[in-house]
Chain A
Amino acid sequence: MSAPTLTRPVEHARLDRSPKPARARGFRKTIWRHRTLYLMAIPGIAYFLLFKYLPMGGLAIAFQDYQPFLGISGSPWVGFEHFVRFFTEDTFFMLLRNTLVVSALLLVFAFPVPIVLALMLNELRGRVFKRSVQSVIYLPHFMSWVIVVSLFYVLLTTDRGAINNLITALGGDSISFLTDPDWLRPLYVLQNIWKSAGWGTIVYLAAMTAVDTSLYEAAELDGAGRMRQSWHITLPAIRPVIVVMFILSIGDILELGFEHMYLLLNSLNREVAEIFDTYVFTAGLQNGQLSYGTAVGLFKGLVGLILVVLANRMSKKFGEEGVY
């Protein structure tokens, strides 16, 4: 991504200096001309080739009955057998539903939180206070999911968890937060907000610093209060950023991440907690069905790709820039 943005300004510079049309010089000449930049791009290109594109070859095992000892070249090909099995099993709809529902909940409840937080932080005037609040809300981002889930475990377990102790002390019945299927989704979203909302404000805060301060002054002269300034100036100014972030989250809609859900998953909430990522792990790695697991993962990746493309088109239609 960095390569094209880098070349652009230089290209202009070159055109300024040489009046001859670039086309005639040919592709090779262009490369030679910008050899430094291309050279600098090599590490990045090599990284993507080696660690992103090369491993994709392994996807071939989704169409095989892969046996580790035989390797990719020796394992028998079975075509779409694993996909047929996956789409005809009941689990498919369970996985799709669970994944989509949780993603939708995240988009509705977790996505706006950093924006609101950033708007509030933007209004803070005390430098020291603002900085300390920022540091505190960034902190959870650096904790691993294992720690976050363990913290909640200690608070929520019915076996002497703090919250349940409080509920019973006040005369209520203890609630099985951890095993009740109805509590899984709220917990998941809540933990997600707690961990990532603070960190998410960074992008928006950065966008807000770019807002022309004279706009605020003008609005103040017209008698606009703080709320109105936020609504009519700050929010529209960061709209492109919000749209880009939204597209990125749509692309991640099936990419909930394995760790968090796996830690919350247990036998009692599996019907709502099993998502593509955890299923790939249990079916593929724990139960040793490598080809089947790969097929499921590949399907997930394809759907994700389609969603990104669609979201990007949509945003362009609405007059925003999109991510590519």
Chain B
Amino acid sequence: MMRRRLLAAVAAVGALALTATACGGGGTSGGDGGGEGLQPGDTIRWMSTVHTPTTPEADGPIETALEEHSGATFDIEWVPAPSYSEKINAVLAANQLADVTGLSPLDNSAIRNALGSGMFWDVEPYLSEFDNLSQINELTIDGARIDGVLYGVPIQKVIARYGVLVRQDWLDNLGLEEPHTLEELAEVARAFTEDDPDGNGVDDTTGILDRAESFQLTFRTIAGYFGAGDKIELDENGQLVASFDTPAFKEAMEWYRELYQAGYVNQEFITLQKTNQQDAIAQGRGGIVITGLFEAKNYMALAENADPNTPMAWALINDMTYADVPRRIVSDTGGGVGGVLAISKENVPTEEGLRYVLGFIDSLLDEEAFDLMTNGIEGTHYELDGDGVVTITDQTAWEQQVQPYSSSRPSDTVVTYPSATPYVDEGNALMAEQAEFAVINPASGLSSDAYDRSWSTIWTTVQDAYFQYMDGQIEMADYEAVVEATYSQGLEEILTELNEAYAAANG
């Protein structure tokens, strides 16, 4: 009898504990939205993207220093960049937004939908109250508006960062000149593949190193050199058309496929992920990368990590042209807008709360905070010499504790530090120089229901066709047939709606 009672008691306690935890779980997630919401002084929950493989520990040195500087407390929920859009969609669907959410890119249908749905504060009227936020460039604000409303603090980026990086030491080994046209680049790619540029006597190098995101990064840039735009562009009649259906785009595809099939581009790049691409670069398996001009210093760091005496040296090229097409570069940041920091109305229901959050973002734009998120803490991560030149002293600590924050900075352009690290200053100067040649998507601020509904599906379809064409599974006529078919899958409607919106906005 005793035994039975005991058993019953144990079962009861177990059952209670389980129901209690279950209710508790439900309670917190539900309670977030209700009640008072975020008040000044509360901890701000911030969902942000991270490009590094590791995230800094909570309450690490940078977070502590930033909290001290801003007078606000915050927790960052780090989301790795490759899965950011899925995560955002899941969070939006479950209505479990953080207080501040970094939303990008703004041309993603789900994000536009969410921004337009009224979940977020229209922050424009409040910007003028803050020292730094009131200074944001009008053009950037323009680019960040969705249908005329600014649903978050624009994240400010350099307008055009992409360019071509070529192994300078390989060029020297082969006695080649730095390429400035695509014709010259093709020849360099051939030589890098066939002429043993690293002089080790083994056929183990290729020209261009591309990766799985080719269609929206590397190839977009190449197509840009041929004269294509960024997703949507204006044709000579002033009509908006899809870039992937322009002659320039197809010409670029033909050019690139020729290189690929000759083996001058790494084979099967369609399955290559970013970190594997970086490894390949660091190991000297390829000598041309079409990427952000700021990457040269990262590649150097990776290569030096593996071999302190690496012969690696880079030529940074920002004036690549093709035939008689004038110099141009597709903006990889949508004209300097890296998304918006959107503030949830549900979590931050009051104006006081909103001002507290905006004040926090504003303080991150101070030079001091920018310095913390870029270089780290002086003496721990970096040192300054008399000319204000920054030298990272502890690369490992910097990579773990500081680098992750760089993609959370509300602006990349607060200060440009002179740096002792090679290629940093050069990259910055070259990126600034090409801003005037930048090509942007004229439809980025326009909205269209059809676009929100069908664009991503169409994009995936065309991207698949691009890869199949590159791989030789289909020919140009088949690619054109695929593109043609997308018109009836919604592209027609998208273009009509965008043209109407464009005419209304610029009429």
Contact = CB atoms under 8 A, between A and B. Distances in A.
Interface residues of A, number: 35
B473 A266 contact: no
Interface string A260-290: 0000001110100000000001110111111
A66 B467 CA distance: 33
Contacts of A67: 113, 117
Contacts of A105: none
Interface string B458-486: 00100110111001010000000000000
A68 B268 contact: no
B33 to A, nearest CB: 11
Contacts of B453: 289
Contacts of A270: 464
Interface stretch (B4-12, B70-78, B334-342): B4-12
Contacts of B8: 35-36, 39
Nearest to A40: B11
Contacts of B266: 159
Interface in A232-255: none
A178 B271 contact: yes
B467 A268 contact: yes
Interface string B80-97: 000001100110111100
Interface in A268-324: 268, 270, 281-283, 285-290
A176 B92 contact: no
B109 interface: yes
A178 B272 CA distance: 11
B93 to A, nearest CB: 5
A69 interface: yes
A49 B134 CA distance: 52
A157 to B, nearest CB: 6
Interface string A36-68: 100110110011001000000000000000111
Nearest to A294: B93
27 contacts: A42-B19, A46-B18, A46-B22, A67-B113, A68-B95, A68-B117, A69-B118, A153-B271, A159-B267, A176-B268, A178-B268, A178-B271, A179-B268, A179-B270, A266-B271, A266-B467, A267-B467, A267-B468, A268-B270, A268-B467, A268-B473, A270-B464, A282-B460, A286-B456, A287-B460, A288-B89, A288-B110
B2 interface: no
B218 to A, nearest CB: 15
Contact of A39 (B11, B19, B94, B460): B11
Given A68-B95, A268-B468, A268-B473, A283 B4 contact: no
Contacts of B111: 288
Contacts of B460: 282, 287
A159 B277 CA distance: 12
Interface string A147-170: 000000100011100000000000
A287 B109 contact: yes
A172 interface: no
Interface string B102-127: 00000011110110011100000000
Given A35-B8, A178-B271, A286 B464 contact: no
Contacts of B93: 66, 68, 285, 290
A143 interface: no
Interface string B419-456: 00000000000000000000000000000000001001
A71 interface: yes
B212 interface: yes
A288 B114 CA distance: 10
A68 B92 contact: yes
A47 B11 contact: no
Contacts of B41: none
A261 to B, nearest CB: 15
Nearest to A36: B8
A70 interface: yes
B473 A69 contact: no
A47 B19 CA distance: 8
Nearest to B26: A50
Contacts of A266: 212, 270-271, 467
Contacts of A43: 14-15, 18
A275 to B, nearest CB: 16
B489 to A, nearest CB: 10
A26 to B, nearest CB: 22
Contacts of A289: 453
A261 B267 CA distance: 22
B1 to A, nearest CB: 12
Given A178-B271, A179-B270, A39 B109 contact: no
A47 B460 CA distance: 39
B457 interface: yes
Contacts of B464: 267-268, 270
Interface string B264-306: 0011101110000000000000000000000000000000000
B117 A70 contact: yes
A160 B203 CA distance: 12
Contacts of B463: 267
Nearest to A67: B117
Contacts of B212: 266
B271 A71 contact: no
A69 B119 contact: yes
B119 A179 contact: no
Given A67-B117, A159-B268, A290-B89, 9 more contacts: A50-B22, A68-B94, A69-B114, A159-B266, A178-B268, A179-B270, A266-B271, A270-B464, A286-B456
B213 to A, nearest CB: 11
A181 to B, nearest CB: 8
Counting chain A CB atoms within 10 Å of each CB, the highest count among B86, B93, B266, B466 belongs to B93
A157 B457 contact: no
Given A43-B18, A288-B110, A288-B456, A71 B268 contact: no
A96 B105 CA distance: 33
A282 B85 CA distance: 11
B7 A46 contact: no
